[in-house]
Amino acid sequence: MAPPKGKRKYLGRRKIEMKLIADENARLITFSKRRNGLFKKATELSTLCAAKIAIIIFTQCNRAYSFGNPNVDYVTDLFSNQFPLPNPLSFDRGTNMQQLKERCDRINEELEAKKRKGKEIEEGLESFSSGALMEDLGALDFAALKEMKVKLERLRVQVARRIDGPELGSGEGSSSHFAGVRVSGLEEGNESPIPSDWLKLM
Amino acid sequence: MAPPKGKRKYLGRRKIEMKLIADENARLITFSKRRNGLFKKATELSTLCAAKIAIIIFTQCNRAYSFGNPNVDYVTDLFSNQFPLPNPLSFDRGTNMQQLKERCDRINEELEAKKRKGKEIEEGLESFSSGALMEDLGALDFAALKEMKVKLERLRVQVARRIDGPELGSGEGSSSHFAGVRVSGLEEGNESPIPSDWLKLM
DNA sequence: CACGCTATCTATAACCC
DNA sequence: TGGGTTATAGATAGCGT
């Protein structure tokens, strides 16, 4: 019973305040652990109660993780049938959560496929212009919007330059993107350029 | 201190097998408890790590539950009200709930019908990290760029409208909707047509 | 079902590798 | 980041109200 009081190699779990973890590194670790914990809980819940669960998580720097039981496509396919997405580049306003998820899935698949060709940027833009961002606009707060405004201004210039100006070597390069199964990329780290934001549930 | 050993009024938590709970009643109770637990975990995770989380749960009995950080119905209406949300802070909510409910029901039906298939899947939509977009648009082809140009133009207008445009109601009013990193999860019982944070359909 | 109560079981914060 | 370890905070099964 009496723990060897002389030397506790570890302090054991300690209570923490429920607020944003300031330390970047600690936050990263906590995120990773808790994310796994959350997914585990979801797994258990679905097992114990035969429930279908889907979870999507967007980190600060817009990295996304998701969990799906039985499987994301499952719910996703259903939706694509009911609300077909004609073109990833066409703006579709009737979007809802599942649809967005589906879109994400699709984009991911494309990413997977194209990754080999080393053209992740294009995919990124695809998702960018697929409407998700535009639709989520409403979820951004004022500050975020302002920041975004600046970013867009810049992006717009770049795009315009690309269209009107001469061809620029692209380069592209490392694609630290996911593998398909469990997402791994690091977490947080930088403030996200665009606070991106929320999806919709129903 | 010494608990009356003779008769423990309660047995305390006991380990349970990780499989479908046979007893329907017990299963229902467990579902309710664990669902709350899951949502709480999600709330904590989003708070601690500034993550946006969305969870959807379809129960066996055709019920859908969801959790969303920054707020669910806000985005819900955002979508339903068509893309450009006139006034994100004073939109009339509840309008589309019936529709959403129906949609949800339909999905549930099909889910039931097509149920089982399973396995979990994780998707990494890192493509959403628009940060990379800024880097190089080099790999884009003309068509994509042009299309994007249009999209950006639209987005830009939207952003501008949000910033300079009509003053949203009482300033930041219900900012709690997308204030910072989350919206209350558990506590907070609002009686708006639809619980703002937790949306329970049916 | 929600809420309360307990004794447990489980998730994890802090640290090490 | 991915794994372990320890000790503790937190979640919850089973039972009442």
pLDDT digits (tens, 9 = 90+) for A132-168: 343 344 344 444 445 555 555 555 555 555 444 333 2
Q: Would the pLDDT of A38 be above 80?
A: yes
Give the pLDDT of residue B55: 79
Give the pLDDT of residue A156: 57
B51 CA to centre of own chain:
12
Largest CA distance in chain B: 81
Q: Which residues in chain B have Cβ-Cβ distances shorter than 8 Å to A150?
A: none
Give the pLDDT of residue A158: 54
Q: Would the pLDDT of A198 be above 50?
A: no
Q: Nearest-CA neighbor of A125 among B159, B123, B141? A: B141
Q: Would the pLDDT of A49 be above 70?
A: yes
For residue B141 the two structure tokens come to 């082809």
Mark out the alpha helices in B59-200 (DSSP H runs): 73-80, 97-114, 130-135, 142-164
Q: A189: distance to nearest CA of chain B, Å?
A: 11
Spatial separation of the C-alpha atoms in residues A100 and A106, rounded to whole Å:
10
pLDDT digits (tens, 9 = 90+) for A50-93: 987 777 777 777 566 777 776 544 533 433 333 333 322 222 22
| Chain C nucleotides covered by protein, CB below 7 Å | 1-2, 4-15
A53 and B55 Cβ atoms separated by less than 8 Å: yes
* Dihedral Cα B135, B178, B85, B155, nearest 10 deg: -10
Residue B98 corresponds to which amino acid? Q
pLDDT digits (tens, 9 = 90+) for A101-129: 444 444 444 444 433 333 333 344 444 43
Q: Is A132 in the B-facing interface, judged by CB distances under 8 Å?
A: yes
Q: Extract the residue ranges of chain B whose pLDDT is less than 70.
A: 1-7, 62-64, 69-202
Give the pLDDT of residue B59: 78
For residue A55 the two structure tokens come to 């979870």
Give the pLDDT of residue B45: 92
The more confident residue out of A175 and A121 is A121
Spatial separation of the C-alpha atoms in residues A117 and A111, rounded to whole Å:
10
Claim: this prediction has a pTM higher than 0.85: no
The more confident residue out of A28 and B110 is A28
Residues 142-201 (A) near nucleic chain D, CB < 7 A: 182, 184-187
Give the pLDDT of residue B155: 57
Q: B198: distance to nearest CA of chain A, Å?
A: 10
Give the pLDDT of residue A119: 37
Give the pLDDT of residue B34: 94
